[in-house]
Structure 1
Amino acid sequence: MPKHGKKYRKAAEGAEVTGLTVETAVKLAVEKAYAKFDETVDIAINLGVDPKYSDQMIRGAVTLPNGLGKEVIVACFCSGEKEAEAKAAGADFVGGEDLVEKVKEGWLDFDKAIATPDMMAKVGLIGRVLGPRGLMPNAKTGTVTFDVTKAVSEVKAGRVEFKVDKAGVLHAPIGKVSFGADKLLENFKSLLETVNKLKPSSVKGTYMKAVAVATTMGPGFKVDPLSARKYAES
C-alpha cells in the first residue's frame, strides 16, 4: 500500500467512519483540507447500475449554482451566424472546418467543446482525438445544439458533465475548498438531484449504493447513501 505523509494521516483521522450525513461529510472534507493550493472538492457515487446495458449508462450534465471556481476555456465548432452568437456568449475559440483542422494538427488548448448538429460530421473526424480526453461534444450533455448561446453560457457558468465508468462509479467536481461548506452543499444537492432523476426504470433495488466526498489531496469521507438520497429529494 502507498505510504501517506503526516498531513494526510492527520486529515484522515475520522475518515474511516461510515454513514455520515451529506452535511457532515462536506464540512469534514473542507476542514481537513491541508494543501497550499485551493483544492477541488470531488464526489464519487457508486450506482447500482450495469453500464454494459445502454439503458443503464448514466450520463448527463448539471449547471452548478455556484460554479466550479475556475475559468473554463470553451471551443465552439459552428459556422455562419452561429459563430457570432458563440462569440457573444463568451466562447474563447470559434470556428468551423478551420478549427477542426487546428485540432488535427495537435491543438487542444480548451476545456470544453460545443458543436452545432450540422458540424458533427466534421467534428466526428477528430473524435479519436477528442473522445479519450472527454472533449467530444454530445447531445445527451447538451453540447451538440443549435442553441450555442445557452450551451456556452452554461459551460462558462460551471456546467459539469458526468458519466459512470465501467464499474458503475460516477465522479464529478462540485467546487473549491474556498467556497466553504454552504456553497459546496448547494452544488452537491444540484448534482444529487440530477443523478437521482436519471435513475433508469430497469434498475431495481438500491440506486445510490455508496457516496464519498474528497478534496484533491485529502481522504474520502463516506456518506450514508440514504442520507444522500433524502438530501437529493428534500
Structure 2
Amino acid sequence: MASCVRTLLKGGYLLTSRTPRVCHLPARSYAPARAQKKKEVKKEVEKEVKKEKRVIDDSARHKPYGLTAWAPVDDVYVARFYPRPVLAPAVALLRLKLYQELDATAPDQPVYIDLKLDMKLEKKKTVDAFVSTVQLPHSFSTGLNTVAVFTENPEQAQVAREQGAQFVGGPELVEQILEDEVSADFYISVPEMLPKIVPLKNKLRKKFPKSKRGSVGVNIPKMMAMFKTGFEYQVEKDCYVRTQIATLDMPTEHILANVKSILTDVCSHRPAEYGPFIERSILASHTSEALRFSSQEILQPPPADKS
C-alpha cells in the first residue's frame, strides 16, 4: 500500500509522517467455516469379569484348608481353628436346653431357625424370594390370627363370619383398609373380588391375596382353617429364612415336628432335581449360641436297620 510522505520544516528539525491510504474493501457476506474437531476414538472398556467363588472339595485331605484339623483332640481348643460341627437335630436341641439350665435364663425363650438356601436354577434363572404360610403341628402362640375376607356374596360372608373372620366385606372394606381403619394378619378373597381390590396392592404388598399362596378361592372354610392358625415366614436378603419355630420349654419331639414342617415347606418351592435346596441350617435360642444341624436327617432320615 502506497503512502505519501510530507516533509515539514519546523524549528530546524525535519519531520516526516506517513499517512496510510484508505482502501474500501467489500464486506464479507459469509461465515467462516467452523474448524472440525478431531473425532475422539472411544476406547472400548473391557468389562470386568467377576470370578465365581470356587468351591474347594477338601473332604479327601488330612485337614481342611486354612484350619488346623478336622476335629480337636482336646477339650480346650480355639474354635476358629476347626470347622464348626454339624449336629443331629435332637442333639442340637438338647444342647440348647442344657445351655438354658446352665445360664439360668428364661425357660420359655423362643427357638429360632436360620436357613441359607441355594436359589439357583438352570442357566441364570433363580428362585424368586417367596412368602409362605404353613400349619405347624404344635403352635407356640396363644392367640389366633386376624383374617379379613373380601366377598360380596351374602352367603359367603355368613360362612366367613361363622369360621371366625374378623372383617368381611366388599368395596366398603377396601375403603376402610385404605383409610387405615382396618388391619389384619391375613387377607383372603374370592376370585370375583380380585379386580375390585387392585387399589390395595401397594397397601398390602406381600399380604395381597394371591392364588399361588392359597389366599384366593371359593372354599372359604378351608382358607380360614389355614390362615386362622397358620404360621407365616418369608425369604429375606435373597436367600435366608430366619424365623421362630417354638419355645424352649416345649417337648423336644414337638420342636422337631415344627422344624420338619418348616423344612418340608421350604423345600417344596424348588424342584428336587436341582439338588439340596438348603445349604446351611442353624438352631438357636434367644440367649444361646447358634448350633448347626443336619437338615437332611429330618428330610431324609436314614433307613432303620432290619436286623
Please say whether Structure 1 and Structure 2 have the same fold, judged by a TM-score greater than 0.5. Answer: yes
Partner of residue 93, structure 1 = 167
Q: List aligned pairs for 1:1-234, cutoff 5 A.
A: 17-30=84-97, 32=99, 38-50=108-120, 53=125, 55=127, 57=129, 59-71=131-143, 72-80=145-153, 81-131=155-205, 134-157=206-229, 159-200=230-271, 203=274, 205-216=275-286, 218-224=288-294, 228-234=295-301
Say whether the 8 Å CA contact 1:141–1:161 is kept in structure 2: no
Partner deviation per Cα, 1:72-116 (whole Å, 9 max, x = no partner) = 122222221221111111112222212111110013532222222
Gaps of 5+ in 1: 1-13
Q: In structure 1, how many angstroms separate the alpha carbons of the residues matched to 2:164 and 2:281?
A: 35
Q: Distance in 1 between matches of 2:297 and 2:225?
A: 30
Q: Which residue of 1 aligns with 2:58?
A: none
**Percent of matched pairs sharing the same residue:** 23
- Determine the C-alpha separation between the residues in 2 that align with 1:113 and 1:37: 34
Verify the 8 A CA contact 1:60 1:140 in the aligned structure 2.
no
Tell me the equivalent position of 1:5: none
The answer as to whether partners of 1:196 and 1:232 remain within 8 angstroms in 2 is no
1:113 aligned counterpart, secondary structure:
strand
Matched residues in 2 for 1:129 and 1:27: separation? Answer: 43
Deviations 1:161-198 (A, max 9, x none): 33323431123432333433221211111121222333
Given the superposition, is the C-alpha separation of residues 199 and 219 from structure 1 closer, same or farther in structure 2, using an over 3 Å criterion?
Answer: same
Cα deviation, 1:116-144, whole Å, max 9, x if unaligned, reads: 2222223221111111xx42222222112
Unpaired segments ≥5 residues, structure 2: 1-78, 302-307
Amino acid at match of 1:75: A
- Partner of 2:236, secondary structure, is coil
For the Cα contact (< 8 Å) 1:56–1:200, is it kept in 2? no
Check conservation: 1:82, 1:148, Cα contact below 8 A. Answer: yes
User: What secondary structure is seen at the aligned counterpart in 2 of 1:139?
Assistant: coil
The 3-state SS of whatever aligns with 2:257 is helix
Deviation string 1:177-228 (CA, Å, 9 cap, x unpaired) is 343322121111112122233333573x54211111234565432223xxx1
CA gap of 1:176–1:165, structure 2 versus 1, over 3 A, is same
Are the aligned partners of 2:127 and 2:270 in contact in 1 as well (CA < 8 Å)?
no
- Going from structure 1 to structure 2, the CA distance change for 1:46 and 1:150 (only over 3 Å counts) comes to same
TM score, norm. by length of structure 1 = 0.76
Greater displacement, 44-53 / 103-112: 44-53
CA distance in 2, matches of 1:93, 1:47: 36
Greater per-residue helix proportion: 1
- Rg bigger for which structure? 2
- Structure 1 distance, partners of 2:287, 2:164, is 32
Instruction: Name whichever of 207-216 and 22-31 sits farther off.
Output: 22-31
CA contact (8 A) 2:177 2:183 kept: no
